[in-house]
Amino acid sequence: MSELTFTHTIDGKAETSKASFDVINPATAQPFAKCPDASREQLDRAVAAARTAFGPWKRKSFAERRRAITDFAHGLAARIDEIGPVLTQEQGKPLGQAKWEIGGAAHELEAMCNMELKPEVLRNDGKHRIELIYHPLGVVGAIAPWNFPIILAAHKIAHGLYAGNTMVLKPSPYTPLATLLMGEVARDTLPPGVLNTLAGGNDLGAWITEHPGIDRISFTGSVPTGKRVMASAAGTLKRVTLELGGNDPAIILEDADIEAITPSLFRGAFLNAGQICMAVKRIYAPEKLYEPLVEGLSKLARTHRVGDGMEPDTEMGPLQNRMQFDKVMDLIEDTKRHKNVRITAGGHSLNRPGYFIAPTVVADADDDMRLVREEQFGPVLPVLRYTDVDDAVRRANDSPFGLCASVWTKDFERGAEIARQIEAGTVWINHHVGSEADMPFGGFKQSGLGRELGMLGLASYMEPQVVKVPLA
């Protein structure tokens, strides 16, 4: 990475900082690049630039903003081959998946700008015409996570900017570099100040959430951090969207074709080393299908190629950081202390540098285990038995989380009936993991507040206003 220089983007210009921090390659556990560490003064100037840009930007039409964001999307797509290796080295995912993420972000930026909140007449009774209209909020503080730093930032950028707001975007300090390159694209395609990108640690995040010049916070990350964000934003009653963790259940019905669905379940659990908020985190399987499912998942786990994401045959990379690696290994060790539990694949770290854990399948798990109760956010999958589907739904709902879930069956309507009983923001039939530009995404319970994507997501970046006009 010595040939690349990473800079913040403030008011359309590149800036470095006096301070910097190391960025670790999780495949080696060694630093591979330096990242500038933004100061409070730089944040203040970024917010001021966004505030200045807000007036002209909000006065543009949806169509004009769509054209500018489309230019940004095309600029991002044009740099996939450059940004992809940076994303792999800072995040750990295989290069093909990193390039897919960047390409997906470019696609989502365009797709999310194909909707429009139009004024709505609520009443026209001859005496009054009552209209509902929407105004952009102002300056958005967007804080993106380390598991999918580019595509999840793109979701915030697309609707935030398309709605007429301007933005200060902060990536995770674990994965800041590809996002700073994303900021370079903004310099060439968006008006100065519309999108500012600043990298920094936890202090920068706290400064953003409490900053009086920021009107809205969009945060994606863990539940504990989300609670701190909400508390910090309360000082100025900022509008807040929190997309937090999940402990997503998959319920297999007795008529499911185990041979056909096992690869999809495996991918839903182990993609990105299980570091996906909406990943399959626990499976409930009926007795007669239980052992074939466990064996099928275990076979895939044993043959899944784990390695450095820059190696062409790698299917799964390392966990992204040492803290997450230690958490997942602690869950594995806790699981081993349960006498009746079987670890049918994995159950250990790899004997090599980096934060690698073998894909792990746990059979005969019970509901009270930490691995079942907590969000593992790593490549460890518990499989639980059930005899009554109503009981399986009850157990699936017995969680403080409620992000996503799935039901697997040949009877789609029965699957949909069961899906409606699950307490989760999104429930799929015969599928797990994914988002679409026009599909609202968010969680029940402690999995978050509000929605990203879809018309609900777009509306969350605007303030509704009622205008009552007398007609006589």
**What are the catalytic residues?**
243, 277
Which residues face 448 on adjacent strands? 243
Hunting for tokens 């499911």 — which residue is that? Answer: 256
User: What contacts 284, CB < 8 A, 6 or more positions away?
Assistant: 249, 250, 251, 252, 384, 385, 386, 392, 395, 396
The DSSP output letter for 403 is S
Cα separation, 246 vs 274, in Å, equals 12
Maximum Cα–Cα distance across the chain: 81
For residue 78 the two structure tokens come to 């044009």
Contact 101, 150 (CB under 8 A): yes
With residue 81 as reference, give the H or E element that holds it.
Answer: helix 80-91
The DSSP output letter for 472 is -
Q: Residue 220: phi, psi to the nearest 5?
A: -125, 125
User: What contacts 150, CB < 8 A, 6 or more positions away?
Assistant: 83, 87, 101, 102, 105, 178, 179, 182
User: What contacts 370, CB < 8 A, 6 or more positions away?
Assistant: 331, 334, 335
With residue 55 as reference, give the H or E element that holds it.
Answer: helix 40-59
For residue 413 the two structure tokens come to 């309507």
With residue 357 as reference, give the H or E element that holds it.
Answer: none
For residue 326 the two structure tokens come to 């230690």
For residue 321 the two structure tokens come to 């950081």
Q: Hey, what amino acid is at 229?
A: V
For residue 137 the two structure tokens come to 């909020």
Cα separation, 451 vs 291, in Å, equals 38
Q: Transcribe 186-219 into DSSP letters.
A: HHHHS-TTSEEE----HHHHHHHHH-TT--EEEE
Contact 246, 443 (CB under 8 A): yes
With residue 135 as reference, give the H or E element that holds it.
Answer: strand 128-136
Buried b (16+ CB within 10 A) or exposed e, 329-359: bebbeebeebeebebbbbbebeeeebbbbbb
Hunting for tokens 């797990």 — which residue is that? Answer: 432
Angle formed at CA 273 by CA 269 and CA 278, multiple of 5 degrees: 45
